[in-house]
Amino acid sequence: MASKTRAQPQSLGSVVARLLHKDSSLGYILLSPGFIFLTVMMAYPFVYAVYLSFTDKQIGAPAHFTGLENYAKLLGTSLFAKTVLNSLVYTTFALLLKFLGGLGLAVLLNRPFIGQRIVKALLLLPWIMPTVFSTMIWSWIFHPTFSIVNEVLVNKTGLLTEPIPFLRDESWAMASLIFVNVWRGVPFFGITFLAAIQSVSLEIIEASKIDGASAWVSFWRITFPMILPVVTVVMLISTIGTLGDFDLPFLLTHGGPNDATTLFALTAYTLSLSSGMIGLGAAVTMTMFPLLVLLVIASLISVRRQQRN
């Protein structure tokens, strides 16, 4: 009678080794640390913020479910209406100017000149400089009393008779905010667009020149369509960052004057931490979510179509 052999129990090390050597499981294992990190650091706060937006949570008090009451309150306030308008104006003009400035900068840097590498490195300084530090400098430049710009234009050159109210006038405050955002964002746009332009095949460009196409026509008919997927992704990333911008308006204008520069994140901060209405502040942040989802979906569809074409 043949003896029956029992299957030897597998050790933990052998099981792990087998999983690491399988292509079907190795990818999931390598992605799991990043996925867990994103789940803990991003998914949980987001889900909790969604929950708070449907409650009357206040600092030091328990939360009670109120349904859509917070959103109804927001729609009935002039502050939220002004926040939406300010955010759309701020994001639209900042994105347009960063796109135009970044594209022009990329075209200029694509031409060889002496000291090109040094110029590229220096152009990145506004983008890599800490926001708090650069904003403090701009707040001094735009200071109502000690503005260096007004000092030069009024007292030194006499080009103006009265100082410019950079941070005291509603229109000038928004323009100043947009200008600083563009100053910070153009280098990122320019360097990214430059990398995309330099990836375009030179043979196609030379062939278009042989066919009689001018540099202007060659850029807009050949180069720009080929870098359009990169442009779309950069615009999407910048839209998300600009629409949810908090540091710049908080440090430069504090949302003033008369709430002329208050944006989504700043309004949420004011309602949540300054006024103690955490549920209402969370509802403000959630109003941005549907718009951002639509932007992401539209951008992904556009990129896929461009890649297929």
Poorest-pLDDT segment among 14-18, 55-59, 200-204:
14-18
pLDDT in tens, 166-213: 999 999 999 999 999 999 999 999 999 999 998 888 888 888 878 777
For residue 169 the two structure tokens come to 């006038």
In a domain, 57, yes or no: no
Total number of domains constituting the chain: 1
In a domain, 229, yes or no: yes
For residue 195 the two structure tokens come to 């990398």
In a domain, 64, yes or no: no
* SS3 (DSSP) at 193: helix
2 pLDDT more than 50: no
Q: Are 197 and 110 a contacting pair, CB within 8 Å? A: yes
Cα 269-275-277 angle, rounded to 5 deg: 80
Largest CA distance in the chain: 113
Give residue 3's pLDDT.
47
In a domain, 40, yes or no: no
CATH number at residue 232: 1.10.3720.10
pTM of this structure: 0.84
In a domain, 207, yes or no: yes
Q: Are 102 and 237 a contacting pair, CB within 8 Å? A: no
d(CA 274, CA 258) in angstroms, rounded, equals 17
Owning domain of residue 154: 72-308
In a domain, 62, yes or no: no
In a domain, 95, yes or no: yes
Q: How many CA atoms lie within 13 A of 164 on its CB side?
A: 18
Contacts of 170 (CB under 8 A, 6+ apart): 257, 258, 260
Alpha-carbon separation of residue 288 from 19, 83, 239, 260, 275 (angstroms): 41, 11, 12, 19, 21
For residue 33 the two structure tokens come to 């640390």
In a domain, 231, yes or no: yes
